[in-house]
């Protein structure tokens, strides 16, 4: 924002003014309520502070809300207003139109800066309207670099943008301050023994909390929608049958590629399965040991150590897969006569097994830490009951504690599964880049996430199916993990209904 | 040794089931049970009463060695069931607990079906050779616990879905299913409403036919209603032990009198 008041951004100054009005309203309303109550707070419906808070709330919230909306909406209105000034021939497609509009904005901002620094006076700009050819140099000297010579229509549009923006800002200031004053005045007028200020404040706080909660949900919806629109674009350019049912993944930047998700989905699920086969037994046994058998001293050391695994960045796990686990596996399962087993099953270090093993190690702390908490939450009375019947410790764990903790453990496993499906860096380095459907765990395969990375890195053209496919892949991944979470919730809930 | 003499002078109509001599319990440095001597009879309900923290639950948990599961707890002295020293090295506390059943303060059915709750002990100890035998054991236990008629049509329903009183009777059925010689009850009615309490008390009276029952209770009315023998604990000491009627009508020790008349505790 180049628009300033005394050197500060308009929005900041305006916020300070509104907050000032709110504070004055707070003090005033509190005092007025007390005066009306004859100086005795017991005559009031609510505590005196609530009257003040009502005034502050009425003054600040609508005014600041309108300001935020105004700040977002104004550029759009201005843009629509200046669009007719640009010749239709220059705005044939959306890309060109965006370029010109951004030029207009930059010129407008540049003119503001130039005027504030004294490099230009408004009359000079008006004089340049017919031939703005040296404007680029002048704006360059004030630090606003332009990509091309300024066309006359760009200057005209920029001038109009400046005029409209200045006008809009003025109206915004007037509206916001008026709103703040009206809000404060209303609350001030209402303040008195009969006004139920506490209820009003609490309803206001409730609205605030609901707003915070819905913001998170709306963000999710926004993410899904943005993925959805790009995916729709992709399916306009590429046959959906090939995407979902085709058999090969062979992107080709000259066009006409095979873009089927199936080989990638197979790789994703295969690697995740191996990772879970590693993580679930080890994690669960570790959790049982820690929560049931370890004494408090061992536990206080072992649990944090195990949880450190969860703090290692996944790229480090990827390096571990690439440099240590992969070559070790090759030494065991490959190299023919020179290998440990004397077999020739594995040729390269990158394979499903490499990535799966390392990912499994990464998931162990997730499974163990969550399961440990869940096992600890099983009431001691159940253990006592089982011991009291002459069950041994292991019988108690197997037949009472694990069944009681099962819903939570299933939840932990599904959480680990969705991490495995969404994991990227380990598979980039450990699994290879070959998309294929095969049951051989010693072969290199690739996953959905790594292909999203490779389709979006480097030179990308967001109009080609080879790039847009990343969004369709991302959306599929999202639906997959969402489905997994829904299933997890369903399992947990039916189990709860049965046993609580 | 005074308590010892009391139990010997008592007219015992049943043989002694549990004999405790010079029992001491320490929780770390805390001397929780001091020199307790008591003889508990077969086919009798014995009530342990006393103010909170007096050691009555601790002593109860010595009888099935549940205190072994607490690291800092040390038990000394001699406790015999049917003449066998239960703290002997050759006794496996796990096997002992099958012989000495326990019912806890809060009903704690396992998150399993009613049937599986009762069958839990018999399955672990291999008491049934086949399904039919197990069915019999479960049915007999549920009948003994006076809950058979309420649950016979829904044995596969979860035990946690029963009401509080039913859950506690289910836990009693679970405890008697392993055919214990002794049944220990640690305040079995303190989490129940008066109607459920009455049902459980009635049940305890019936269980006397087959078991030696030891019950810890905070309610002196309950002790008077269900027990034949009463032991009064105070600050880790067994103050007085004898016929319930006598303890409640003419206690010998002034501390017992103070407690039952409500002056200490």
Please indicate, yes or no, if residue A124 is contained in any of the structural domains.
yes
| pLDDT for residue A307 is more than 60 | yes
Please indicate, yes or no, if residue A464 is contained in any of the structural domains.
yes
Q: What is the largest CA-CA distance in chain B?
A: 57
Give the three-class secondary structure for A360.
Answer: helix
ipTM attached to this prediction? 0.85
Is B106 within 8 Å of chain A by CB?
yes
Please write the tens of the pLDDT for every residue from A203-246.
999 999 999 999 989 998 999 999 999 899 888 888 888 888 88
Please indicate, yes or no, if residue A225 is contained in any of the structural domains.
yes
Please write the tens of the pLDDT for every residue from B45-68.
999 998 888 888 899 999 989 888
**For residues A418-435, average pLDDT:** 85
**For residues A435-464, average pLDDT:** 81
Q: Do A209 and A75 lie in a common domain? A: no
pLDDT-derived band at A153 (thresholds 50, 70, 90) equals: confident
pTM of this prediction?
A: 0.73
- Mean pLDDT score of chain B: 87
- CA distance, residue B27 to nearest chain A CA (Å): 18
| pLDDT for residue A15 is more than 50 | yes
**For residues A109-138, average pLDDT:** 78
Please indicate, yes or no, if residue A240 is contained in any of the structural domains.
no
Which of B98, B117, B120 best tests the A interface by mutation, with the highest count of A CBs <10 A?
B120
- The number of domains in chain A is 3
**For residues A136-159, average pLDDT:** 79
| pLDDT for residue A33 is more than 70 | yes
- Residue with the bigger pLDDT between A4 and B144: it is B144
Q: Report the pLDDT value the prediction gives residue A1, as an integer from 0 to 100.
A: 41
Q: Do A274 and A415 lie in a common domain? A: yes
**For residues B87-100, average pLDDT:** 88
Please write the tens of the pLDDT for every residue from B13-34.
688 889 999 999 998 888 888 8
Is B120 within 8 Å of chain A by CB?
yes
**Domain at A275, CATH number:** 1.10.3720.10
pLDDT-derived band at B71 (thresholds 50, 70, 90) equals: confident
> Within 10 Å of residue B164's Cβ, how many Cβ atoms?
13
Q: Are B128 and B122 in contact (CB under 8 A)?
A: yes
Whole domain around residue A392: which residue ranges?
245-499
Which of A297, A390, A400 best tests the B interface by mutation, with the highest count of B CBs <10 A?
A390
Please write the tens of the pLDDT for every residue from A346-384.
777 888 899 999 999 999 998 998 888 888 888 888 999
Whole-angstrom distance, CA of residue A468 vs CA of residue A255: 12
Measured between beta carbons, the chain A residues lying within 8 angstroms of B106 are: 381
Please indicate, yes or no, if residue A9 is contained in any of the structural domains.
yes
Q: Do A65 and A205 lie in a common domain? A: no
Q: Are A292 and A394 in contact (CB under 8 A)?
A: no
Q: Report the pLDDT value the prediction gives residue A273, as an integer from 0 to 100.
A: 94
State what percent of residues in chain A have pLDDT above 70.
94
Please indicate, yes or no, if residue A258 is contained in any of the structural domains.
yes
Please write the tens of the pLDDT for every residue from A392-411.
999 999 999 998 888 888 88
A1-5, A143-147, B137-141, B230-234, range with the lowest pLDDT: A1-5
Q: Do A173 and A108 lie in a common domain? A: yes
> Within 10 Å of residue A124's Cβ, how many Cβ atoms?
13
The chain A residue lying nearest B171, using CA atoms, is A385
Judged by CB atoms closer than 8 Å, whether chains meet at A384 and B110 is answered as no
Q: Do A184 and A127 lie in a common domain? A: yes
Measured between beta carbons, the chain B residues lying within 8 angstroms of A500 are: 160
Q: Report the pLDDT value the prediction gives residue A206, as an integer from 0 to 100.
A: 94
Measured between beta carbons, the chain A residues lying within 8 angstroms of B182 are: none
Q: Report the pLDDT value the prediction gives residue A390, as an integer from 0 to 100.
A: 87
Q: Are A74 and A176 in contact (CB under 8 A)?
A: no
| pLDDT for residue B263 is more than 50 | yes
Is B69 within 8 Å of chain A by CB?
yes
Q: Do A49 and A185 lie in a common domain? A: yes
**For residues A137-158, average pLDDT:** 78
Q: Report the pLDDT value the prediction gives residue A316, as an integer from 0 to 100.
A: 92
Q: Report the pLDDT value the prediction gives residue B115, as an integer from 0 to 100.
A: 94
Q: Do A293 and A148 lie in a common domain? A: no
Please write the tens of the pLDDT for every residue from A385-397.
999 888 899 999 9
Q: Do A174 and A273 lie in a common domain? A: no
Q: Report the pLDDT value the prediction gives residue A113, as an integer from 0 to 100.
A: 81
Q: Report the pLDDT value the prediction gives residue A5, as an integer from 0 to 100.
A: 63
Q: Do A383 and A463 lie in a common domain? A: yes
State what percent of residues in chain B have pLDDT above 70.
94
Q: Report the pLDDT value the prediction gives residue A433, as an integer from 0 to 100.
A: 79
Residue that is written with structure tokens 């207009």 in the block: A104
The last residue of one of the domains, among A136, A171, A195, is A195
Q: Are B162 and B114 in contact (CB under 8 A)?
A: yes
Q: Report the pLDDT value the prediction gives residue B1, as an integer from 0 to 100.
A: 42
Q: Do A261 and A119 lie in a common domain? A: no
Please indicate, yes or no, if residue A237 is contained in any of the structural domains.
no
Please indicate, yes or no, if residue A62 is contained in any of the structural domains.
yes
Nearest to A498 among B71, B102, B158 (CB): B158
| pLDDT for residue A54 is more than 80 | yes
Q: Do A119 and A51 lie in a common domain? A: yes
| pLDDT for residue B12 is more than 60 | no
| pLDDT for residue A2 is more than 60 | no
**For residues B65-74, average pLDDT:** 85
Q: Do A32 and A155 lie in a common domain? A: yes
Measured between beta carbons, the chain A residues lying within 8 angstroms of B104 are: 381, 384-385, 388
**For residues A166-175, average pLDDT:** 90
Q: Are B148 and B142 in contact (CB under 8 A)?
A: yes
Please write the tens of the pLDDT for every residue from B176-214.
898 888 999 998 888 888 888 888 898 888 888 888 999
């Amino acid at each position: 924002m180049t628009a300033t008041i005394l050197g500060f951004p308009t929005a900041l100054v305006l916020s300070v003014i509104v907050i000032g009005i709110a504070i004055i309203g707070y003090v005033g309303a509190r005092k007025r309520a007390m005066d009306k109550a004859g100086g005795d707070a017991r005559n009031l419906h609510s505590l005196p502070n609530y009257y003040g808070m009502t005034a502050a709330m009425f003054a600040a919230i609508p005014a600041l809300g309108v300001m935020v909306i105004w700040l977002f909406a104004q550029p759009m209105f201005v843009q629509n207003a200046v669009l007719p000034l640009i010749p239709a021939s220059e705005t044939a497609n959306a890309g060109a139109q965006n370029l010109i509009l951004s030029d207009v904005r930059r010129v407008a901002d540049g003119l503001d800066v130039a005027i504030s620094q004294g490099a230009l006076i408004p009359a000079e700009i008006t004089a340049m309207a017919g031939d703005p050819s040296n404007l680029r140099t002048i704006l360059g000297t004030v630090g606003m670099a332009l990509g091309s010579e300024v066309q006359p229509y760009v200057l005209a549009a920029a001038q109009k943008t400046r005029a409209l923006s200045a006008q809009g800002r003025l109206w915004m200031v007037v509206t916001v301050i008026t709103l703040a004053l009206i809000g404060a005045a209303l609350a001030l007028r209402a303040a008195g023994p009969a006004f139920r200020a506490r209820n009003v404040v609490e309803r206001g706080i409730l609205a605030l909390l609901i707003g915070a909660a819905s913001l998170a949900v709306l963000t999710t919806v926004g993410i899904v929608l943005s993925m959805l629109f790009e995916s729709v674009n992709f399916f306009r350019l590429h046959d959906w049958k090939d995407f979902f049912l085709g058999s090969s993944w062979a992107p080709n930047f000259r066009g006409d590629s095979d873009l089927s998700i199936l080989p990638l989905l197979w790789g994703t699920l295969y690697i995740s399965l191996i990772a879970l086969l590693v993580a679930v037994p080890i994690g669960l046994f570790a959790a049982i040991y820690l929560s049931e058998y370890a004494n408090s001293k061992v536990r206080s050391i072992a649990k944090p150590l195990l949880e450190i695994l969860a703090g290692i960045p996944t790229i480090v796990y990827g390096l571990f897969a690439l440099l240590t686990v992969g070559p070790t596996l090759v030494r065991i399962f490959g190299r023919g006569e020179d290998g440990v087993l004397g077999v020739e099953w594995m040729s390269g270090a990158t394979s499903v097994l490499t990535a799966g093993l390392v990912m499994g190690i990464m998931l162990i702390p997730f499974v163990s830490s969550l399961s440990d908490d869940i096992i600890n939450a099983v009431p001691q009375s159940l253990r006592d009951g089982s011991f009291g019947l002459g069950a041994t410790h292991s019988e108690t764990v197997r037949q009472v504690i694990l069944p009681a903790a099962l819903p939570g453990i299933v939840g932990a496993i599904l959480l680990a599964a969705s991490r495995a499906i969404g994991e990227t860096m380990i598979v980039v380095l450990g699994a290879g880049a070959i998309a294929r459907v095969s049951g051989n765990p010693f072969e290199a395969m690739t996953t959905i996430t790594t292909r999203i990375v490779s389709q979006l890195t480097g030179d990308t053209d967001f109009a080609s199916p080879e790039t847009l496919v990343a969004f369709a892949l991302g959306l599929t991944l999202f639906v997959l993990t969402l489905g997994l979470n829904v299933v997890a919730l369903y399992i947990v809930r039916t189990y709860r209904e049965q046993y609580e | 040794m005074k308590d010892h003499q009391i139990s010997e002078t008592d007219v015992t109509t049943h043989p002694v089931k549990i004999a405790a001599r010079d029992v001491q319990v320490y929780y770390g440095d805390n001397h929780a049970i001091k020199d307790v001597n008591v003889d508990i009879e077969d086919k009798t309900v014995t009530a342990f009463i006393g103010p909170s923290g007096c050691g009555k639950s601790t002593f109860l948990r010595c009888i099935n060695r549940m205190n072994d599961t607490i690291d800092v707890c040390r038990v000394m002295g001699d406790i015999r069931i049917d003449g066998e020293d239960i703290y002997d090295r050759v006794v496996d506390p796990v096997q002992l607990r099958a012989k000495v059943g326990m019912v806890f303060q809060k009903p704690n059915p396992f998150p399993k079906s009613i049937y599986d709750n009762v069958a839990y002990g018999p399955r672990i100890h291999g008491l049934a050779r086949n399904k039919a035998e197990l069915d019999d054991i479960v049915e007999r236990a549920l009948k003994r616990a006076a809950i058979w008629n309420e649950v016979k049509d829904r044995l596969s329903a979860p035990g946690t879905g029963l009401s509080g009183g039913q859950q506690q009777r289910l836990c009693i059925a679970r405890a008697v299913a392993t055919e214990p010689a002794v049944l220990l009850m640690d305040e079995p009615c303190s989490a129940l409403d008066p109607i459920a309490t009455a049902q459980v008390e009635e049940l305890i009276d019936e269980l006397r036919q087959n078991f030696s029952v030891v019950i810890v209770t905070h309610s002196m009315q309950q002790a008077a209603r269900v027990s034949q023998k009463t032991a009064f604990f105070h600050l880790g000491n067994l103050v007085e032990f004898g016929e319930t009627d006598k303890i409640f009508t003419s206690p010998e020790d002034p501390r017992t009198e103070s407690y039952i008349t409500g002056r200490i505790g």
